[in-house]
Amino acid sequence: MQEKFYLTTAIDYVNGAPHIGHAYEKILSDVIIRHKRQLTDNAYMLTGTDEHGIKIQKTAGEKGITPKELCDENFSKFEEAWKELEISYDQIIRTTDEQHKRVVKQIFKKIYENGDIYKHSYKGLYCAGCETFLNPKDLTEDGLCPVHMKKPEEVTEENYFFRLSKYKEKIANHIKTHPEFIQPSIRVNEILNQLENIEDISVSRTKASVQWGIGVDGDDTQTIYVWIDALSNYITAIGYDIENPSEKFNKLWPANVHVIGKDIIKFHSIYWSAILMSLGLPLANTIFAHGWITIDQSKMSKSLGNVIAPHTVLEAFNLEKPDAFRYYMASAALSGKDGNYSDEDFKEKVNADLANNIGNLLNRTLNMLVKYFEGEIKPEFVSNNNSKIAILAENTKKQVIEHFNHYEIAEASNTIVSFADAVNKYVTETAPWSLAKEEKMIECGQVLYNVLEAMRYIAILIHPYCPNIATDILTQLDEKIDFKYDNLVWGKLKQGKITEKDKIKPVFLRLDSEFATDKKKA
């Protein structure tokens, strides 16, 4: 069993409803935390919503409602989406929570008292979409924000600034001496290059510009800005307090991993690191930056009309459980790379991997067990852990753990499916139906045992991606529903009568199957 594991996601901006990009990050995070719960009883997942700022203020004004009403309305949409996708977070924080606001004021004051915040008049180019000031060198040739493709606004304000440049060398040294800090490693040089020209950053906005936010104690002209407000959620949520940190905070911090999109890695690896250094707190072990999800090879855009809500996918394919969508999204892109969603690819992949490969393997093996042995696994069928499939199962388990240790979620799923492929090939090669025909019943039973024990391994390994399918597999094997890795020991498959003909059902129906079609029509 491993020690504690604390995972955080980026907190979602509640200026609109959740889309497939939000879902991608939360599914990745949920798959990671479910895997870690298989290894430890002390795994904790935090997610949340970012609820302050000019965009929410403007959108609420356009709708004729208060910013808090807009936040409440959209927060409920995120909460419902994560429930539908079975995101098993332990806590969800809102930056409008009173506890968060109280501690953010403490944090701002502490950093100010440390001499790391000062007041300064500033003229710069401000992107409302990024909620940050941009340097001219950051813009496109046409002078646009490279993320939002809009011209930033020229703003002159007197704000509080954080001495980010003071921590430049310390952060660079940490990155160089902690190779696990930024994952995937292809992002390291990008961050080190950004550090070379890093400048102090604004950590407040005038209330004339941004009223919707946390005020600076002792200065009623200023609103605390996103970098101290939003980023601090990772510690305020678990009970950080300047004077008296909670037992929960002391147990969980530092975070084992911040799961974020590649577009905000600079803010986490540089800004957040410097804030933590100023507070005298240890940095997170790892910042894992995933790629983006495109739709039919195009970036999601309201103007293109290709922004997809996760619910619409479940609805379109009549999926009562989210397993197929979770599996597809978690395996959509190799670590840190961009992925793509298309209806056709979704259907083809889940049919091939979940229905044809894993589902069919279980179904036909159980049917043979009923046909030849009345659903009974006899003691003489049990093979030792030196069998070809047993060795492959153990190697697969080790590879999956290794992939997860490096946040290679798609790679881990590919390893599991490859194992299922190998077991299918083993069935073809050993031909248990031929063994039965030749009345080699012990050999036939041993083959079926190996396959069903491999299916037990597959159920436990794939549980983080497909919790319902995994449960159905163990149920059909008449196994206790327990997904801990302690159970991944070859030879633990239950003996005796484990199934009957009427108990054998597909664990995943092909999306275009006759049964699925009839169900949809009904």
63 CA to centre of own chain? 32
Q: How does residue 301 score in pLDDT terms, banded at 50, 70 and 90?
A: low
Ordered domains of the chain (ranges, CATH): 343-521 (1.10.730.10)
- Closest C-alpha to 331, from 511, 507, 464: 464
Mean pLDDT of the chain: 93
Question: pLDDT tens across 352-404, in order?
Answer: 999 999 999 999 999 999 999 999 999 999 988 888 999 999 999 999 999 99
Phi, psi angles (nearest 5°) of residue 232:
-70, -10
Measured CA to CA, the distance from residue 497 to residue 388 in angstroms comes to 25
Of 143 and 20, which is predicted with more confidence?
20
Q: How does residue 302 score in pLDDT terms, banded at 50, 70 and 90?
A: low
The pLDDT assigned to 157 comes to: 83
Task: Report the share of the chain in percent with pLDDT over 70.
Answer: 96
Question: DSSP for 22-80?
Answer: HHHHHHHHHHHHHHHHTT-S-EEEEEEEE--SHHHHHHHHHHTS-HHHHHHHHHHHHHH
Q: How does residue 128 score in pLDDT terms, banded at 50, 70 and 90?
A: confident
Measured CA to CA, the distance from residue 108 to residue 160 in angstroms comes to 10
The pLDDT assigned to 2 comes to: 62
Could you count the other beta carbons within 10 Å of the beta carbon of residue 428?
8
The pLDDT assigned to 521 comes to: 39
Of 319 and 383, which is predicted with more confidence?
319
Cβ atoms of 420 and 451 closer than 8 Å = no
pLDDT at residue 496 above 50? Answer: yes
Question: pLDDT tens across 254-272, in order?
Answer: 999 999 999 999 999 999 9
Question: pLDDT tens across 427-441, in order?
Answer: 999 999 999 999 999
Question: pLDDT tens across 471-495, in order?
Answer: 999 999 999 999 999 999 999 999 9
Question: The whole model's pTM is what?
Answer: 0.92
Measured N-to-C along each axis, helices 20-37 and 409-430 cross at an angle, to the nearest 10 degrees, of 70
Of 157 and 176, which is predicted with more confidence?
176
Q: How does residue 17 score in pLDDT terms, banded at 50, 70 and 90?
A: very high
Calculate mean pLDDT across residues 138-154: 83
Measured CA to CA, the distance from residue 499 to residue 369 in angstroms comes to 8
Question: pLDDT tens across 197-236, in order?
Answer: 999 999 999 998 899 999 999 999 999 999 999 999 999 9
Phi, psi angles (nearest 5°) of residue 34:
-65, -40
By annotation, the residues acting in catalysis are 19, 22, 127, 130, 145, 148, 299, 302
The pLDDT assigned to 488 comes to: 96
Cβ atoms of 313 and 18 closer than 8 Å = no
